[in-house]
């Protein structure tokens, strides 16, 4: 079942187009970690898609990208994708483009991987529809999105930072024409909880 998810619904090994919904959040970082450690191959194409609310970016970006736990990561890659909250390490600031840093981290972990960054603008209520439209335009085989663990926290934090809400991830899982995996990370070394249209609460060790 794990390989079926990673291969976009059981497709034979070939050059695939994988998309990660990219945001400056822990949940988005977890989705990227999952893709880099369990899904992507060097001959694939990885798209980092950010749907920007034009009314949101007037506020300060808060980023909590966790350190990657993949054994294949280099120290430079782990540093690039890492963020220690509460001291002892750096975090993305206002002057750093988190998409550029995500792209650099991907290239450090998989030097031969082709990574493309895409930005589109949309109001928050249309985010799910826009993401699905982009998967169709680009011919995406597998869509991966981070999902918040707490709906109450999602609602509160959505008002502050406009990030992916639990219901948006669920919308993508249910309506995406390609295979969509919603990812929740359980602690630094606790593995991943995966959600697809056909498999709910599938546990995958890190």
> Which domains, ranges and CATH numbers included, belong to the chain?
2-204 (3.40.50.620)
Residues in the chain: 206
Q: Output the DSSP codes for 123-188.
A: -GGGHHHHHHHHHHHHT-SEEEEE--S-HHHHHHHHHHH----HHHHHHHHHH-SSEEEEEEE-TT
Tens of pLDDT along 98-154? 999 999 999 999 999 999 999 998 876 789 999 999 999 999 999 999 988 654 444
Query: pTM to 2 decimals?
Result: 0.70
Tens of pLDDT along 50-77? 998 776 544 444 443 444 444 444 444 4
């Amino acid at each position: 079942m794990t390989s079926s998810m990673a291969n976009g619904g059981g497709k034979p090994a070939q050059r695939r187009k994988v998309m990660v919904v990219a945001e400056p959040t822990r949940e988005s970082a977890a989705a990227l970690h999952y893709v880099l450690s369990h899904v992507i191959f060097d001959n694939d194409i990885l798209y980092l898609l950010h749907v920007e609310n034009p009314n949101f970016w007037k506020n300060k970006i808060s980023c909590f990208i966790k350190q990657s736990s993949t054994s294949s990561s280099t120290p430079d890659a782990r540093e690039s994708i890492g963020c220690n909250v509460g001291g002892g390490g750096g975090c993305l600031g206002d002057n750093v483009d988190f998409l550029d840093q995500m792209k650099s981290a991907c290239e450090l972990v998989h030097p031969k991987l082709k990574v493309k960054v895409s930005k589109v603008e949309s109001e928050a209520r249309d985010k799910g529809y826009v993401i699905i439209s982009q998967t169709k335009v680009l011919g995406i085989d597998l869509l991966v999105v981070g999902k918040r663990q707490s709906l109450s926290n999602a609602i509160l934090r959505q008002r502050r930072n406009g990030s992916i809400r639990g219901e948006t991830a669920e919308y993508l899982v249910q309506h995406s024409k390609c295979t969509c995996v919603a990812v929740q990370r359980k602690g630094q070394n606790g593995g991943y909880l995966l959600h697809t249209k056909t498999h709910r609460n599938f546990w995958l060790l890190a």
